[in-house]
């Protein structure tokens, strides 16, 4: 059972690494477009928000301002740090099982 949990932890860590690499690849793709076309193509979280059914607006003004600020975060930044979070979770899970 410990061996299986250890493998699952390692698998989660690998998935986190791949997600973090995806964040870097997003920036590299943006840089390639910038070098080729001379314009930076910003990618933020808004398209994902709408893709997953997020509302256009909420009735509370303060909450709407927070949502707008968060949705302006660069997609590459969020993907990269989410990948690091998943990576860390997988490593901790694998280490905890070994003890």
- Specify burial of residue 22 (Cβ count, 10 A radius: 0-12, 13-18, 19+): middle
Average pLDDT on 14-39 reads 96
Residue with tokens 């893709």, as numbered in its chain: 51
pLDDT class of 98 with cuts at 50, 70, 90: low
Please tell me the pTM assigned to this model. 0.82
Q: Are 20 and 89 in contact (CB under 8 A)?
A: no
Q: How many CB atoms lie within 10 A of CB 19?
A: 18
Tokens, residue 40 = 């930076």
pLDDT of residue 2: 77
């Amino acid at each position: 059972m410990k061996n299986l949990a250890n493998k699952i932890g390692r698998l989660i860590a690998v998935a986190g690494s791949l997600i973090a690499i995806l964040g870097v690849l997003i920036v590299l793709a943006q840089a390639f477009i910038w070098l080729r076309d001379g314009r930076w193509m910003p990618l933020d979280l808004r398209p994902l928000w709408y893709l997953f059914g997020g509302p256009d607006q909420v009735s509370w003004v303060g909450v709407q301002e927070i949502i707008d600020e968060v949705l302006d975060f660069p997609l590459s930044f969020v993907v990269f740090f989410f990948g690091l979070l998943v990576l860390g979770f997988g490593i901790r899970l694998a280490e905890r099982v070994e003890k």
